[in-house]
Structure 1
């Protein structure tokens, strides 16, 4: 039985598109409904209680569209809201932290892993806990990078400013001996070339969002809810609580879709 309902993706802004990009590649038959909460980003500095409230609003928006599975394509929201959403929603919910942690353990030869993320994700210790629960022998070095999300959202991720900010922020990791670095925020893969350049070719970068799509794929098979018909019946839909134009500029570039369109939606203010 083919399930043609969409998969829902939610994020604080455009970062979740790094997960969507991977989903489009790996699951071309699946319909994607995405919402980015650009009006209220960044989520990183906010109290987790507030992030949880916002996450519920985004989830409820997507649930009304009869999605079959929800992906929290945001590390800060995964840390704050995943257990709560999972316990209370009638559909499967997948977050980005567990898949990223698993991939990091697999990739690290020296058992020395770095994690860069928002203040909220780092404060929650979600990555450290997930990694050490699976392998207590790992050393985990975490760093909050509050300047990264604004760089991406203001469409400056190709700029010389971005280059300088990334270099300054990651300076402390240079002598740390890590061999694997988790990009623990779905915005960060847009800065990937700059991050790799600073860290050097000896450090493996883990894209948590991309890893998450493997989990989505496995879940679709396991629950037998994949779209198995030859084509997509429903077109993808993209929503933002911020400026549709700003969102489209980044999405066109990142998803390589010249005709990309998104819609503004209002979920209330602070």
Structure 2
């Protein structure tokens, strides 16, 4: 594995930018190739077969860049396709569910953890399995939030409409003794302020991006594959849908991370 090869990050849309931002922060010399499938988002209501097909198509596209690692920065795709992708490629493949579960177990003191996610992620019970593997007696309270991803994909992070959607979706979770709430979709950190307002200050919000980036770093370090170059990397960002909206949201979210680093924006044709 060549140290100068990029890290490939994929998502159903803009949500994976939360992971990309954290990888950039923790590993500033690593080049990133990002693909957001904004034309086919959201993945949550889709069948497992569709999600696996879409994820395979994106990975097949990203392989041309010879990545040294692939990060599936989408909880729904991680739940449905992680094993399939690992069997298809020769490089390490990291998902976002196990890192998020580890972070929550390490933070919780009550042993009651909430998980919010897309229909596909919650139905898969992937977080339940990951959490109970780490702590068999943990209580898991799960809720689907189908309204969240469309809001984020439109760039609607803070508005009365957003607050009302969050309140209706998860306000009832406050009756449970949860002290940690896993944001089980990488789109949801865009709504952190509103979710925190609805849930209250006694509930810690768990964003798997930090832990996922840490896992990427550990794996590459163990394989002696961290880049040793001194020059600033040039990242590449692809989306399958509206490039203007995608670029606007990405620039807003990544902020100073891309002010210091050149970025190439492209719209591929993968289907």
Contact 1:2/1:226, CA 8 A, preserved across alignment? no
Take 1:20 and 1:229, find their aligned partners in 2: how far apart are those partners?
19
Shift of 1:210: 2.4
Q: Which runs of 4+ in 1 moved over 3 A?
A: 257-261
Take 1:84 and 1:173, find their aligned partners in 2: how far apart are those partners?
34
Superposition pairs for residues 34-45 of structure 1, below 5 Å? 34-45=34-45
**Structure 2, unaligned runs of 5 or more:** none
Shift of 1:260: 5.7
Take 2:172 and 2:50, find their aligned partners in 1: how far apart are those partners?
31
Take 1:112 and 1:221, find their aligned partners in 2: how far apart are those partners?
34
Cα RMSD for the two superposed structures: 1.4
Q: Does 1:150 align with 2:153?
A: no
Contact 2:116/2:185, CA 8 A, preserved across alignment? yes
Q: Does 1:113 align with 2:113?
A: yes
Take 1:139 and 1:224, find their aligned partners in 2: how far apart are those partners?
38
Contact 1:99/1:208, CA 8 A, preserved across alignment? yes
Take 1:25 and 1:160, find their aligned partners in 2: how far apart are those partners?
32
Deviations 1:70-120 (A, max 9, x none): 000000000000011112210000000000001111100000000000000
Aligned partner of residue 210 in structure 2, secondary structure: helix
Q: Does 1:262 align with 2:249?
A: no
Take 1:119 and 1:146, find their aligned partners in 2: how far apart are those partners?
7
Take 1:209 and 1:121, find their aligned partners in 2: how far apart are those partners?
17
Contact 2:15/2:185, CA 8 A, preserved across alignment? yes
Range with bigger deviation, 128-137 or 92-101: 128-137
Deviations 1:170-197 (A, max 9, x none): 1110111100000000000000011111
Contact 2:235/2:263, CA 8 A, preserved across alignment? no
Q: Structure 1 residues 204, 171: CA separation in 2 closer, same or farther (over 3 Å shift)?
A: same
**Structure 1, unaligned runs of 5 or more:** none
Take 1:50 and 1:37, find their aligned partners in 2: how far apart are those partners?
13
Shift of 1:154: 0.7
Aligned partner of residue 143 in structure 1, secondary structure: strand
Number of residue-to-residue matches in the alignment: 267
Q: Which residue number in structure 2 is paired with residue 124 of structure 1?
A: 124
Q: Which residue number in structure 2 is paired with residue 47 of structure 1?
A: 47
Take 2:20 and 2:159, find their aligned partners in 1: how far apart are those partners?
24
Contact 2:234/2:263, CA 8 A, preserved across alignment? no
Q: Does 1:173 align with 2:162?
A: no
Superposition pairs for residues 175-214 of structure 1, below 5 Å? 175-214=175-214
Shift of 1:261: 5.1
Superposition pairs for residues 1-270 of structure 1, below 5 Å? 3-232=3-232, 234-256=233-255, 257=258, 262-268=265-271
